[in-house]
């Protein structure tokens, strides 16, 4: 395996995504540390709500890397870090029996991603 240069080439953030952080972390764990091409291929066949969201975020980070630094080869990029933080929750109420109501939390996520070059 080649020696890796751990300098961050580009980053992208997606905030207030209407997906549960717990469920988005499953997909983030799937692609962490992988090459960009392989991660995008795996996300195409992942049947989770957050898979296309994270796929678009990866494509945005690749576009940031190639636009801001012309010396970067998109084939050499890999996902250095990806993490999902919880955002604000929207509270909704569901009617229940005997005139009561229970609270339902509609959770949001903040997804952060950093790419680095293997060369």
What CATH number has the domain spanning 8-117?
A: 3.90.470.10
User: Which 3 state secondary structure label does DSSP give 24?
Assistant: helix
Tell me how crowded residue 24 is: count the other CB atoms within 10 A of its CB. Answer: 28
In whole angstroms, what is the distance from residue 60 CA to residue 90 CA?
27
Listed by start position, the domains of the chain span: 8-117
pLDDT tens digits along 54-107: 999 999 999 999 888 777 888 889 999 999 999 999 999 999 999 999 999 999
> How many secondary structure helices (H) and strands (E) does the chain include?
3, 5
What 8-state DSSP symbol labels residue 2? P
pLDDT tens digits along 53-64: 999 999 999 999
């Amino acid at each position: 395996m080649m020696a890796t240069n751990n300098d961050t080439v580009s980053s992208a953030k997606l905030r207030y995504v209407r997906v549960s952080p717990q469920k988005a972390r499953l997909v983030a764990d799937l692609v962490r540390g992988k090459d960009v091409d392989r991660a995008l291929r795996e996300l195409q066949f992942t049947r989770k709500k957050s898979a296309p969201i994270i796929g678009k975020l990866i494509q945005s980070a690749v576009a940031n890397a190639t636009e801001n630094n012309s010396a970067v080869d998109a084939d050499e990029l890999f996902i250095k870090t990806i993490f999902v933080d919880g955002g604000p929750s929207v509270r909704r109420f569901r009617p229940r029996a005997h005139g009561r109501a229970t609270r339902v939390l509609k959770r949001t996520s903040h997804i952060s991603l950093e790419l680095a070059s293997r060369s």
